[in-house]
Chain A
Amino acid sequence: MRITVDRDRCIGSGQCVMTAPGVFTQDDDALVALVPGHEDAAADPRVRDVPMACPVQAIAIHED
């Protein structure tokens, strides 16, 4: 399972950070970023909820 983020779409709502704080963070511009080493979504089950929580569909999970 792989996470992809589309930073061009991101509006900095922080819903990803709120839902799975160990996996997602915000950079200095408050745009979505992955915590290094967490590109694989399998580590945290809450990640599955993030695409629905994101208000602009900037985050997708790919089943490999």
Chain B
Amino acid sequence: MTESEMRLTGSQTPSFPQDRTCPYQPPKAYAEWRGESPLTQVTLFDGRPAWLITGHAEGRALLVDPRLSSDWGHPAFPVVVRRTEGRGGLAFPLIGVDDPLHARQRRMLIPSFGVKRMNAIRPRLQSLVDRLLDDMLAEGPVVDLVSAFALPVPSMAICELLGVPYGDHDFFEECSRDFVGAATSAEADAAFGELYTYLHGLVGKKQAEPEDGLLDELIARQLEEGELDHDEVVMIALVLLVAGHETTVNAIALGALTLIQHPEQTDVLLRDPGALPGVVEELLRFTSVSDYLVRMAKEDIDVGGETVRAGDAVLVSITLMNRDAKAYENPDVFHARRTARHHVGFGHGIHQCLGQNLARAELEIALGALFARIPGLRLAVPLDEVPIKAGHDAQGPIELPVTW
């Protein structure tokens, strides 16, 4: 195909994203995009054409390329999900801004997510996980692993880290779920408004009565010194709270499901706890909870023999990059002993997940303890009856009924 034929036309190209059928495999339609070319054309729900980057090497190169923008506030920034329609101008801190603003925001936060801090948090995570498993064993079987385990682990962890009272978790878990699961932008705005009001009040309360937590540190260090204003602290809190809820819960649930479906690989884990970090990396590669990343080209960029033009929508397929046969041998096989180096489960480039080392600690401790305590864990329903999230959301089961 010549370049002129490949130019984004918006006509007759497949829609993106599509729903998975198996919770941990790419949607079936994506199979034909996995050929020689590292990119393909797709159409978004609003009819806008977009490039989908599927090649591992090309995707990694693009994710460090400053010619791609993450500025959600740009009026032409691509919209992939109907709930974010009409959100132009609302550039969320960290995730929806470019450098140098992004770097300034990120640098304020990274000490709280540094390797030393995350290792220091492990004993508390372990006792939290042990307590949840005690409750689960007392309650079941059958148990919904999402609500009993996969959700409370990251929810309690992010609350403790931020200094948000976990006692309010029913409220903000619901807001968070409504926000990311909204069908329309009006519904999303309503959930956003509730969450914003709650956190606005919390930041005000913390200003009056400081406690221990990341938000309290931000208030003491950045707000009081004029580096951040009240609204920025609230928006940072909102992004971290929602991100803390909508990612690791899926990674734990999808990780558990993948292990349940591959008992011979779970045996590796049970026989050799030292294999755990490697298993978690392979799960992150194999399941690709964050299916895709959204960018916009600021300048023309040559990719795989094609030219992405300034203003084009660029979707980077985490799922297909992590299943690129040029990067991984037999990429569709879940292999506990694979060294899944350089997977992009946490993204790549300046926006690579801020909470990745917290997520790793949570996954290692949660999945290690889950299978050590309940080695006979299995699904209570057939795999194809596990309800899963829509293609435009973070990928994972909505419920995961398990028995033992």
User: Could you list which residues of chain A lie within 8 angstroms of chain B, going by C-beta atoms?
Assistant: 11-14, 17-18, 26, 28-31, 49, 52-53, 55-57
Interface size class of B (residues with CB under 8 A): 20 to 34
A24 → chain B closest CB, angstroms: 9
Residue contact B352 to A49, C-beta cutoff 8 Å: no
- Which residue of A29, A52, A57 is within 8 Å of B111 (Cβ)? A29
Chain A proximity mask over B91-119: 1 for CB below 8 Å, otherwise 0: 00000000000010011001101111110
Residue contact A26 to B342, C-beta cutoff 8 Å: no
B342 → chain A closest CB, angstroms: 6
Residue contact B342 to A30, C-beta cutoff 8 Å: no
Residue contact B110 to A52, C-beta cutoff 8 Å: no
A61 → chain B closest CB, angstroms: 16
Considering the complex, which residues of chain B in the window 347-399 have a beta carbon less than 8 Å from any beta carbon of chain A?
A: 347-350, 352, 356-357
The answer for the CA separation of A56 and B106 in the assembled complex, in Å, is: 13
The answer for the CA separation of A59 and B294 in the assembled complex, in Å, is: 26
Residue contact B115 to A55, C-beta cutoff 8 Å: no
Q: Which residues of B contact A12 (CB under 8 A)?
A: 106-107, 110-111, 113-114
Q: A56: nearest residue on chain B (CB-CB)?
A: B350
The yes or no answer to B6 lying at the interface (CB within 8 A) is: no
The yes or no answer to B275 lying at the interface (CB within 8 A) is: no
Q: A49: nearest residue on chain B (CB-CB)?
A: B341
Q: Which residues of B contact A26 (CB under 8 A)?
A: 114-116
Q: Which residues of A contact B310 (CB under 8 A)?
A: none
Most B CB within 10 A of own CB, among A11, A13, A28? A13
A-B contact pairs, 6 of them (CB 8 A): A11-B106, A11-B352, A30-B114, A55-B63, A55-B350, A56-B352
Q: A16: nearest residue on chain B (CB-CB)?
A: B115
Tell me what chain A mostly uses at the interface: helix, strand, loop, or mixed: loop
The answer for the CA separation of A17 and B119 in the assembled complex, in Å, is: 12
B139 → chain A closest CB, angstroms: 36
Residue contact A55 to B342, C-beta cutoff 8 Å: no
The answer for the CA separation of A28 and B221 in the assembled complex, in Å, is: 15
The yes or no answer to B186 lying at the interface (CB within 8 A) is: no
Q: A28: nearest residue on chain B (CB-CB)?
A: B111
The yes or no answer to B64 lying at the interface (CB within 8 A) is: yes
A17 → chain B closest CB, angstroms: 5
Q: Which residues of A contact B116 (CB under 8 A)?
A: 26, 30
The answer for the CA separation of A29 and B115 in the assembled complex, in Å, is: 11
B356 → chain A closest CB, angstroms: 7
Residue contact B348 to A55, C-beta cutoff 8 Å: yes
8 extra interface residue pairs, beta carbon distance < 8 Å, beyond A18-B357, A29-B111, A53-B341: A11-B103, A11-B110, A13-B352, A26-B116, A29-B107, A29-B110, A30-B115, A55-B347
Residue contact A30 to B64, C-beta cutoff 8 Å: no
Most B CB within 10 A of own CB, among A12, A52, A53? A12
